[in-house]
Each structure stands twice: as structure tokens, then as C-alpha cells.
Structure 1
């Protein structure tokens, strides 16, 4: 009998390890490929960018880690999906360093994502990633299940994905496609929502 996959809350001390893992997990992601068109640059910069995103998400919400850090989900509660201006200004130097010449494309992608947020309050599955070397073992699903269990009741849960192959995974957990759209001059994305429980 297989042992159940262990999950736990992410903590700030996880930052470097999770950021490195997410850098590997998203190196072929269409949105990050749009932001960093050069793969070597993408491989180098993604861990820096994810370290910033992880710090922000843990301040605003929570993260769930599966296994030994091979998978993670990062969640933002209702009203906290957008990063506030004060936080943006405080992190601007680090953000510019992480994005470099890709800043304009990153802002364009971010604006497109925010433009498609639901009008009603929602809980946000901001990031879900699994180390490519650990895929197929249920770790990503375990991190999603743990995050859903911690989500507030009574509000829908929203996510977007640029990877069409991920739609079936999220549908398995009760999400349905609510829209498809495109970053201007960039990749298509799908909005998905899970109804309030």
C-alpha cells in the first residue's frame, strides 16, 4: 500500500527551494516564454521572479507544499488577487532586476490576467507547479487538494492557465472553463472557476 503524500503549509524559509523548483516547472510555460523569449534568460531569471511572487503570495495568502517540495500551490484570498501599489513600489528594484528587458511584456501579461479576473469576489489559485522530474506521482494534485481544503467557504475559486494540457487536471478538481482569451501579441489562456462550496 502506497503511503499518502504529505502536504504542509509553505513558509518563508521555503523560498529559495520553491523558487528554483517553479523555475524548472514553468520553463516551457507559454506566458513565461512570452515574457522571456530567450530560453537561457528564462531559466536564469525565473527563480528570481518566483522568489518575489512567493514572498508576495505568502504575505497575502498561503502556499501548500507536497512531498519534499516537489510541488506547490500558492493562493490569494478574496480581495487580494491584485498586488497593491505600495507593495509594487517597495519591490520595484527587485522586480526590475528579475525582469530586466522583459518588463514591458511582463506588465502587458499581468494587465491581461487582471483584466479577466471575475467581477465577483473569488479565491485565487495563483500558481500551481510541480518539478518536471516528479510529475506523474500525484504531488501536484496533492498540493491542489491541500489548498482547496484551506480555502474559505462560500466564494468561488478562480485560476487561469496558458497550458491547454492542464485543463483536464483542473476539471478533475471541479473547475470549469469560463473563458478563453489571449495576451495581446502573446499566448492564449483559459479562465477556470470552481463554484462556491
Structure 2
């Protein structure tokens, strides 16, 4: 069962995302190895609590084993919140703060300028992978994006994810390496109704 997340789900959803991203190339590149798991969880918690739930759309499975966080063209205030959170995010990045800034700058060059539903993060707890849960929470957002008549966009730094997203109608719009020895990253766009 997929449902929209509530404020009370933030803690467990952050746990799921932290577990899902424990070895993800982007977060390993942009968040300090020093106490990495704690930093990563707080990064995800802030995004959920300050951006996703109040300003975007967040879908979870019933057991909170899968989480998808979207921002939309109607996510009023999300950009201002991200700017307000920047000092905290830089602190969480620790000694990887320059890599985080460089990665964001490079990715921004490949982001659409037109309105999109932006899949900011999606993850499945490692113990629950392979059951279609990630696809289910993403599909909920895609249905809403289609209903709004707006394309969907995402970025991934895991080669294995590209095929999954292509199967959901996304196409690669850019493929590039992040600066400072960062991982290969793919920007992907899904037209309305794909």
C-alpha cells in the first residue's frame, strides 16, 4: 500500500533513506566519511521535514520501507527553504563541502529550466529491495505529475538505476562526471504521459 507521508513519518522515512543511500556514490562523494551514517540520516531528515512534507509531495509504503520525495512547480517556498538550510547542509557535508558545492553547481547546469516534478530522493530499505516498492512510490508521483500536465525529472549516480528509470518512461538528457573525482551522473526527464 502506498500513501502520502505525514509529519509523524519523517523519522522512520529518514532511517529508510539513510539505509538506502549508505553506499550511494553521490552521497559518499558529497558527505564526509566521518560519522557518515549520522550525517546522511540528518541530511535526509532535513530534506523530508523542511522541504518534502511541507512544500512537496512524499509517498511511502505502509511499512515505510520505501520513500519518494518530490518537489513540484507548486512547491511554494521550497527554494527559499533550501537556501535557508544551506549552512546546515554544508556543515553536514563536513570536509566534503567543496565537493557538495561543486556537484550541485554541475548538476544545476543540466537541470530543466521549465517547470517539472523533481524526484529529489527515492530509496528502498536494503532489507526490502526487489519487491517493486521503489517503483510503486515513484509511480504515485508520476501519476500526479501526469495529472498536472508536467514532466518529471531526476538525477542518479548509480548506473543500475538508469534502466529502472527508463522503464518508467524517463530518458537520459545528460551524462557527466561530477567534479573533484565525483561519480558519473545521469539527468533524466520523463515527458507527460510517457
TM-score (norm 1): 0.87
Distance 1:82 1:168 in 2: 33
- Report whether the alignment pairs 1:170 with 2:184: no
Query: Is 1:66 equivalent to 2:53 in the alignment?
Result: no
The alignment status of 1:195 with 2:188, answered yes or no, reads no
Corresponding position of 1:139? 133
Q: Offset at 1:82? A: 9.5
- Residue 160 of structure 1 is aligned with which of 155, 165, 186? 155
Instruction: Name stretches of at least 5 consecutive residues in structure 1 with no aligned partner.
Output: 1-5
DSSP-derived class of the 1:184 partner? coil
Contact 2:31 2:92 in 1 (8 A): no
Q: Secondary structure at the match of 2:39?
A: helix
TM-score normalised by the chain length of structure 2? 0.88
Q: Which residue of 2 aligns with 1:3?
A: none
Coordinate RMSD, CA, aligned: 2.1
1:33 to 14, 17, 28: 28
Unaligned runs of 5+ in 2: none
**Counterpart contact for 2:55–2:77, Cα < 8 Å:** no
Give the one of 173, 176, 180 matched to 2:175: 180
* Equivalent runs, 1:11-26 vs 2, <5 Å: 11-26=6-21
Deviation at 1:190, TM superposition (A): 0.6
Distance 2:163 2:137 in 1: 16
Cα distance in 2 for residues equivalent to 1:89 and 1:147: 24
Task: Tell me: CA distance 1:92–1:123, structure 2 relative to 1, closer, same or farther (3 Å).
Answer: closer
**Hey, what does 2:85 align to over in structure 1?**
91
Q: Deviations over 1:92-132 (max 9, x none)?
A: 55434433333222222222222211122211111110001
- Identify if the C-alpha distance between structure 1 residues 121 and 96 changes in structure 2 by more than 3 Å, giving closer, same or farther: closer
Which of 139, 142, 145 is the aligned partner of 1:148? Answer: 142
